């Protein structure tokens, strides 16, 4: 499988966009994760998942392929990402793998030991976990207003 890395999380998970636009959830078996924006070739064991194409126990290497440019981020809000029109908890699966731009106040920071790679953003009473590299997450002061540009997973 060849594609472009569009997101990483949990120190072993990678979301890859294939040239035809499909997404694959890749679980890396060991070693470092490829940086976001890197074209990779990956091999592994197909794993059952009711929601995604998934490859487990994956090994990867950089690929020398040209992929279509990613579309610009769509501005949205945490409320639109997490609530429906009746204000019930909701997640729109059409947003999976899409690039989004949003603003929120930092309410929870990553652990100082670097084990936690996510922060908690709040806007208009709605909360959203956001995955970051631990070294970046540790530097952010609580109650900061942040603008986040990333991939919805």
Q: What percent of the chain has pLDDT over 90?
A: 37
Whether 113 has a pLDDT exceeding 60, the answer reads no
| pLDDT for res 111 | 57
pTM for the structure as a whole: 0.77
**27: β partners:** 13
| pLDDT for res 139 | 77
| pLDDT for res 138 | 72
Tens-digit pLDDT profile for residues 60-101: 999 988 877 777 788 889 998 888 889 899 888 888 888 899
37 by Cβ neighbours in 10 Å (0-12 / 13-18 / 19+) ranks as exposed
Q: Who wins on pLDDT, 70 or 104?
A: 104
Nearest to 47 by CA among 60, 58, 33: 58
Whether 41 has a pLDDT exceeding 80, the answer reads yes
Tens-digit pLDDT profile for residues 1-22: 999 999 988 778 999 999 888 8
Whether 36 has a pLDDT exceeding 70, the answer reads yes
Whether 115 has a pLDDT exceeding 70, the answer reads no
What is the sign, positive or negative, of the torsion defined by CA atoms of 83, 26, 41, 46? negative
Q: What percent of the chain has pLDDT over 70?
A: 95
Grade residue 110 by pLDDT with cuts at 50, 70 and 90.
low
What is the 8-class DSSP label of residue 2?
Answer: E
């Amino acid at each position: 499988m060849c594609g472009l890395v569009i997101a990483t999380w949990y120190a072993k998970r990678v979301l890859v966009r294939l040239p035809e636009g499909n997404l694959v959830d890749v679980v890396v078996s060991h070693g470092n994760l490829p940086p976001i924006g890197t074209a990779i070739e990956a091999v592994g064991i197909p794993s059952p998942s009711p929601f995604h194409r998934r490859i487990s126990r994956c090994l990867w290497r950089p690929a020398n392929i040209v992929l279509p440019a990613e579309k610009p981020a769509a501005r949205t809000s945490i409320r639109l990402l997490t609530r429906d029109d009746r204000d019930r908890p909701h997640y729109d699966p059409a947003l999976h793998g899409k690039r989004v731009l949003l603003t929120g106040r930092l309410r929870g920071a990553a652990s100082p030991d670097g084990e936690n790679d996510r922060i908690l953003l709040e806007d208009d009473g709605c909360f959203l976990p956001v995955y970051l590299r631990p070294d970046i997450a540790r530097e952010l002061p609580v109650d900061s207003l942040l603008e986040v540009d990333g991939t919805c997973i």
